[in-house]
Chain A
Amino acid sequence: GQSLEQPSEVTAVEGAIVQINCTYQTSGFYGLSWYQQHDGGAPTFLSYNALDGLEETGRFSSFLSRSDSYGYLLLQELQMKDSASYFCAVLRNQGGKLIFGQGTELSVKP
């Protein structure tokens, strides 16, 4: 089967650092993507890891360990606008099918 697990909710304060974990179990793995989605809006691409290690893009970083089937998204210097749902998604190695987790709702408090 295919499954991704991530926490359903995370709360943090403005200016803090938060880490959202994702573990996956899929047949076929090409890479791990992260998307941000505000209420009812379009999922917005944040980052992608195909190889082990850390990818940094501004305040956001993403990490992948293929041997552990594990990744995380790290958000630094949290801002109120970061309140949203965050999804990890596995890219299957056959033709680009994205398998999404259930999403983590991040609430940033003042």
Chain B
Amino acid sequence: DAGVTQSPTHLIKTRGQQVTLRCSPKSGHDTVSWYQQALGQGPQFIFQYYEEEERQRGNFPDRFSGHQFPNYSSELNVNALLLGDSALYLCASSLGQGKDTQYFGPGTRLTVL
């Protein structure tokens, strides 16, 4: 049974560029949440997708957007990258809009130069 998978594992971009990160949830899970984790900090909630819609959003600008596909996989898009967007981006999957345990993927390390 595959756990949560994310791609790519590492990414280097320059300021102003756009990036797309991908997440496949654990088998049987229908909800995907995205988190940003800066170095030495706890993960911060970006948004959650359930039934192909954004259900909740954290305190992140509109440059951060996402999508969920019918197979429950999800993408996180970040436009107009800033140096401060450099972080580990984590995807967590769960069942039933997140009230069940959330299981995290290995993350994508994004570096913005």
| A interface residues with partner B (beta carbon < 8 Å) | 4, 30, 33, 35, 40-45, 48, 87, 89, 91, 94-103
Contact partner of A101 (CB less than 8 A), chosen from B42, B45, B58, B101, is B42
**A96/B42 in contact, CB under 8 A:** no
**B104 at interface, CB cutoff 8 A:** yes
A99 to B50: give the CA distance in the assembly, Å. 18
A99 to B97: give the CA distance in the assembly, Å. 15
Contact partner of B88 (CB less than 8 A), chosen from A40, A48, A89, A101, is A40
| B interface residues with partner A (beta carbon < 8 Å) | 4, 31, 33, 35, 40-45, 48, 50, 55-56, 58, 88, 90, 92, 94, 97-107, 109
Contact partner of A91 (CB less than 8 A), chosen from B40, B48, B99, B105, is B99
A85 to B40: give the CA distance in the assembly, Å. 9
**Given A40-B88, A99-B45, A101-B42, 8 other A-B residues pairs in contact with their CB atoms under 8 A:** A33-B101, A43-B43, A45-B102, A97-B98, A98-B35, A98-B43, A100-B42, A100-B43
Contact partner of B101 (CB less than 8 A), chosen from A4, A41, A45, is A45
Q: Give the one of B4, B40, B58, B99 with max A CB within 10 A.
A: B99
**A96/B94 in contact, CB under 8 A:** yes
**B90/A42 in contact, CB under 8 A:** yes
B94 cross-chain contacts in A, Cβ below 8 A: 96
Contact partner of A42 (CB less than 8 A), chosen from B50, B97, B100, B106, is B106
Contact partner of A96 (CB less than 8 A), chosen from B4, B33, B90, B104, is B33
Residue of A nearest to B41 (CB): A102
**B98/A95 in contact, CB under 8 A:** yes
**B102/A98 in contact, CB under 8 A:** yes
A44 cross-chain contacts in B, Cβ below 8 A: 104
Residue of B nearest to A93 (CB): B99
A98 cross-chain contacts in B, Cβ below 8 A: 33, 35, 43, 45, 92, 98, 102
B103 cross-chain contacts in A, Cβ below 8 A: 45
Residue of A nearest to B94 (CB): A96
**A97/B42 in contact, CB under 8 A:** no
B4 cross-chain contacts in A, Cβ below 8 A: 42
**B44/A96 in contact, CB under 8 A:** no
